[in-house]
Amino acid sequence: MALRTAGSVLVVFLWSVTVVLGQDGWSVTYTTQSICALKGSTVELTCSYTYPSGHKVTTTFWFTEWGTGVEPKDLGQDPEYAGRLKYHGDKKSDCTLRITDLRLSDSAGFRFRFITSGGKGSGPPVSLTVSDVVLEMDPTSVSEGERVTLRCRTNCTLDPITAFSWYKNGQPIPNSNTSSPVYILFSVSSEDTGRYSCSVEGHEDLPSAEETLNVTYGPRNTSVSVSPSGDIVEGSSVTLTCSSDANPPVDKYTWYKKKVTSPKASGQSYSITNISSEDRGEYYCEAQNGRGSMNSTALMIIVAGKQTSVLTAAVGIIVVVLVLILCLSGLMWFRKKNSTSTSNTRDTADDGQGDSSPVYDNISNMDMTPTAAQTESTYDQDDVHYASVHFSRSKNQEVPLYSTVQLHQPQKQDQDVQYAAVKFNLPSSATQPAAAQAAEVDASEIYSTVNKPRTKKT
């Protein structure tokens, strides 16, 4: 108990009572002839004695057992009292005895005996009753809303008693000190479940033993959990577990599926193996004990498609990536080939092929009719000749295409260069694309290189 303290001492002081043993000055005086003490406490048996003058005291002791013609045994020699018995008297007049750590077995009649040089004397018995503090609970097991009566008592009367203290789970109950030995719990709830005890005021370190209050109630806080957690796919297995707070514990669990009249299973756990789409739906459990029953909230099970293995998924991803790479490579190769083919086509196209796209004509070196002087100096000619180039455009042409213009490489550097204007025939604005109209607004001259007649150097 939390309030128990080591080394505490309960001392019972007794009222003075004179016991006369006979004439001629023999006597033993006790403070009382009846003592009530608590188990675990300390008690003092206070007494004094007298004897005739001229006598010398040789032996003093306390005893509990005696018989006719048999010398009583000294309690100081009894192993049951080893370390617990202390004689505070002397061999003159004081015969006080202290007993510590009282036990229930210490309840007995105690007597003092002394022997002098001239005779023997003994006092009458002093009754010692050792009691523990007892807590009585009625009833010890109740349903919520019922009443419980607690009673604190001892086997003998302690004097004086002013109040009693009450404890739950080793801690004082607030505002529970009362002069009455009865404490009542009205309309108990599950929160009142626990271990109770009581003590006598002034002896809080010596409380009663704890007996337990059991408050029963039906299932509450009933819920369902699923394992494993996460997505539920076809072919997998799950286990549903029902939990509930109840006293006494739940003794029956029943599983149901909404919109299905008959129960699915019984027991705290319910396993569903090889799940299919037919297993999807809302599941709940019913918890029941002797005090009532309660349903859990519904748990929705959603069944997804069959689970694909990690290896299969990885292979599928790799295949998709490879296909994409091949497609991209093929597309790039096709574009490159198409570009090369188009270029070759443009190089060989001419106006007589009926191509819808205008193509510039290949122009070769134009041979002029040479004069005698010109013929004579042909090989020395390094002048460059230019001819006028004419471009024709189809009405349906959107993008002009250009062809290669071949130029004659002169043997020597030309001294003079002549240029000829290049004329473009553009379609009407009605059939001309936007890009071409823009080009018409911002037209520029294009020059083509042609051969000019060579003259002889002087």
**Model confidence band, residue 306 (pLDDT cutoffs 50, 70, 90):** low
Percent of the chain residues topping a pLDDT of 90: 39
What mean pLDDT is reported for the chain?
Answer: 74
By CB neighbour count within 10 A (0-12 exposed, 13-18 middle, 19+ buried), where does 295 fall? Answer: middle
Element (H, E) at 247: strand 238-247
Looking only at the bridges linking them, the beta strands covering 141-143 and 134-138 are: unpaired
Q: Which of 209-213, 309-313, 366-370, 430-434 has the highest mean pLDDT?
A: 209-213
Q: Quick check: 219 and 288 in contact, CB under 8 A?
A: yes
Half-sphere exposure for 414 (CA within 13 Å, toward CB): 16
The residue-averaged pLDDT of 147-166 equals 87
Give Cα 380 distance to the centre of its chain. 101
Asked if the model's pLDDT at residue 185 lies above 70, the reply is yes
Q: Which of the two residues, 347 and 43, has the higher pLDDT score?
A: 43
Q: Which domains does the chain have, with CATH numbers?
A: 17-130 (2.60.40.10), 133-209 (2.60.40.10), 222-304 (2.60.40.10), 351-458 (no CATH)
Amino acid (1-letter code) at residue 196 = Y
What are 91-128's pLDDT values in tens digits?
888 999 999 999 999 999 999 999 999 888 888 899 99
Q: Pairing between strand 390-391 and 47-50?
A: unpaired
Average pLDDT over residues 28-42: 90
pLDDT score of 192: 92
List the structure tokens of 374. 């010109």
Confidence grade of residue 343 (pLDDT, cut at 50, 70, 90): low
pLDDT value of residue 98: 94
Mean pLDDT of 165-177: 90
pLDDT, residue 213, reads: 93
Give CA 233 to chain center in angstroms: 26
User: How many other CB atoms are found less than 10 A from the CB of residue 360?
Assistant: 22
pTM: 0.53
Q: pLDDT tens-digit profile of 312-334? A: 567 778 888 888 888 888 888 78
Read off the pLDDT band of 214 (50, 70, 90).
Answer: very high
Cβ neighbours for 437, distance < 8 A, ≥ 6 positions apart: 429
In sequence order, what DSSP letters do the residues of 128-179 get, joined into one string? Answer: EEEE--EEEEE-SEEETT--EEEEEE-SS--SS---EEEEETTEEPTT--BS
The tokens of 315 are what?
């292979």
Q: Write the CA distances from 18 to 25, 66, 302, integer angstroms.
A: 13, 22, 94
pLDDT of residue 246: 94
Which tokens go with 350? 């001419």
Give me the torsion for CA of 442, 448, 452, 458, rounded to 10°.
90
pLDDT over threshold 90, residue 392 = no
